[in-house]
Amino acid sequence: MGKLDLVTIIIIATNVIISYKGFGDYSFFEKYKFNVGAVKRGEQIRLFSSGFLHADNAHLFFNMFALYLFSGQVIYEVGKFNFLIIYFGSLLAGSLLSLYFHKNEYHYSAVGASGAVTGILYSAILLNPERLYYFLFLPPRIGSVDLGIPGYILGIGYLLYSIYGMKNRIGNIGHDAHFGGAVGGYIITLVLSPWLFKTNLLMIGLLALPIVLLYVLKKMGKI
């Protein structure tokens, strides 16, 4: 992946600074977290500001670690400016999908960069779907067996799990923000890199399947 890009360093540093401000300042945290009632009252800044707040150190670490892992691939393929478009576009997409699914739950609140990071993850997978990804803390192979998972399998599996999590309200996790971020990363990457339609059309179709499934389930009232 090479050295950590300055753009990624700035985003990580901003997340750390703002998150720690939120850890120690309850009023600041409450003012800028995602909250359906507040957004509907006109505080749209929360759609973005909530993406720089985190619930605790673990939440912050795993989001930033994932960003570190996948940002280099996206920056290499599309450039720094387009990377920022994907990051903030995915953040907004995640917040908007959360707003859509919880529009009648005025108390619903959320924080975290997960939508933006998931968008970057999905963008990286779309740009290089055959790349193998490995589980943290596990060896890359056991004997002759490679434990890597192709990116497109990881992407499809992740979104299917997000749909399952949304449907069953699993854990204190913003599955809808994750899904919205992935959709944002998917769409924006295709807009910025139309050459993918010539080189990876089959993968584009496969990675779209969970998105279509979510749309159908929503129309059927299953979610």
Domains of the chain in start order, with CATH, are 6-219 (1.20.1540.10)
Q: Is pLDDT above 70 for 131?
A: yes
Residue 22 has what DSSP assignment? H
**Of 175, 166, 193, 4, nearest in space to 86 by CA:** 193
- Tens digit of each residue's pLDDT (9 = 90 or more) over 147-197: 788 888 887 887 787 778 777 765 556 778 888 999 999 999 999 999 999
Structural contact between residues 71 and 83, judged by C-beta atoms closer than 8 angstroms: yes
Per-chain mean pLDDT for the chain: 89
**Max avg pLDDT among 86-90, 127-131, 198-202:** 86-90
Structural contact between residues 177 and 124, judged by C-beta atoms closer than 8 angstroms: no
- Give the type of residue at 10: I
Helix-strand-coil split of the chain, %, nearest 5: 70, 5, 25
Which is it for the CA torsion 156, 85, 188, 111, positive or negative?
A: positive
The arithmetic mean of pLDDT across residues 72-95, rounded, is 96
Residue entry with tokens 């997960």: 114
- Tens digit of each residue's pLDDT (9 = 90 or more) over 134-153: 776 667 778 777 778 888 88
Structural contact between residues 148 and 140, judged by C-beta atoms closer than 8 angstroms: yes
Cβ within 8 Å of residue 211, ≥6 positions away:
159, 183, 186
Cβ within 8 Å of residue 197, ≥6 positions away:
190, 204
- Give the type of residue at 125: I
- Tens digit of each residue's pLDDT (9 = 90 or more) over 9-42: 999 999 999 999 999 999 999 999 999 999 999 9
Structural contact between residues 134 and 148, judged by C-beta atoms closer than 8 angstroms: yes
Which has the minimum average pLDDT: 69-73, 168-172, 180-184, 218-222? Answer: 168-172
Which has the minimum average pLDDT: 66-80, 102-116, 152-166? Answer: 152-166
Q: Is pLDDT above 60 for 198?
A: yes
Which residue did the predictor score with more confidence, 134 or 95?
95
Which has the minimum average pLDDT: 48-52, 61-65, 103-107, 131-135? Answer: 131-135
Distance of alpha carbon 211 from alpha carbon 86, whole angstroms: 18
Looking at residue 1, its pLDDT comes to 46
Structural contact between residues 178 and 101, judged by C-beta atoms closer than 8 angstroms: no
Residue entry with tokens 């703002």: 18
Count each helix (H run) and each strand (E run) in the chain, helices first. 11, 6
